[in-house]
């Protein structure tokens, strides 16, 4: 430095270089910290999702049992009180696990949530009957609803 305490040109250049490097390293550190926070949040979300969907294989085993109970109730009125009680318990277990029924009857068909098994006279793509209820868990389809949809024709066009 000179006597008037201003840096000489070489020192000024070194200070400018160091200041630029410090700014760059500060930016790199801030980005790394942001990436670390994002990774932590992503891992937390993925862990929660893994825990939520870990029960899917067991829940899927309940669905055929539930179907059988619904069928038995519709065919055996004498035993329907006991069977309805069992069905209610199964529905409660599914509900407590976060499983919900997929809306179908009277809705427009959604190929991601409904499986069309046949069609009949009626408004095109309107669900006319549900052959097998569908279920989802946290927005993910466990089993699509198996449905009958309208084919776009009406009885007056047929006659």
CATH number, domain at 156?
Answer: 2.30.22.10
Q: Answer yes or no: do 49 and 59 share one domain.
A: no
- Is 153 in the same domain as 113? yes
- Using DSSP, state whether 159 is helix, strand or coil: coil
Same domain, 69 and 88: yes
β-bridge mates for residue 126, sequence order: 108
What pLDDT sits at residue 54? Answer: 78
Q: For the chain, list residues with pLDDT below 50.
A: 2, 158-159
User: Are residues 107 and 158 part of one domain?
Assistant: yes
- Looking at the fold, whether 93 and 146 belong to one and the same domain comes out as no
- Between the alpha carbon of residue 86 and those of residues 60, 73, 134, 154, the distances in Å are 17, 10, 19, 41
- Quote the pLDDT of residue 111: 93
Model pTM score: 0.64
pLDDT of res. 27? 92
Same domain? For 47 and 72 the reply is no
100 vs 63: CA distance, rounded Å: 12
Residue 39 belongs to what domain range? Answer: 1-54
- Choosing from 97, 121, 148, the residue where a domain stops is 97
Same domain, 151 and 137: yes
Contact 69, 87 (CB under 8 A): yes
Same domain, 113 and 71: no
Q: Which residues contact 61 (CB under 8 A, 6 or more apart)?
A: none
- In this structure, the answer to whether residues 7 and 63 fall within a common structural domain is no
pLDDT at 154: 76
Q: What length does the chain have?
A: 159
Same domain, 19 and 50: yes
Structurally, how many domains does the chain consist of? 3
Name beta bridge partners: 75: none
Residues 36 and 62 in one domain: no
User: 8 and 38 share a domain?
Assistant: yes
Determine the pLDDT at residue 155.
60
């Amino acid at each position: 430095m000179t006597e008037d305490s201003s840096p000489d040109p070489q020192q000024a250049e070194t200070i400018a270089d160091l200041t630029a490097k410090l700014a760059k390293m500060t930016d790199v550190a801030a980005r790394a910290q942001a990436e670390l926070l994002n990774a932590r949040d992503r891992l937390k979300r993925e862990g929660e999702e893994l825990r939520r969907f870990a029960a899917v294989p067991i829940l899927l085993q309940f669905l055929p049992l539930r179907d059988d109970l619904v069928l038995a109730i519709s065919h055996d009125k004498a035993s329907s009180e006991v069977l309805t009680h069992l069905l209610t318990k199964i529905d409660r277990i599914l509900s407590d696990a976060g499983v919900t029924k997929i809306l179908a009857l009277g809705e427009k068909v959604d190929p991601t949530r409904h499986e069309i098994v046949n069609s009949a006279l009626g408004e095109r793509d309107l669900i006319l009957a549900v052959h097998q209820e569908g279920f989802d868990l946290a927005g993910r389809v466990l089993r699509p609803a198996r449905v009958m949809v309208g084919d776009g024709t009406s009885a007056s066009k047929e006659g």
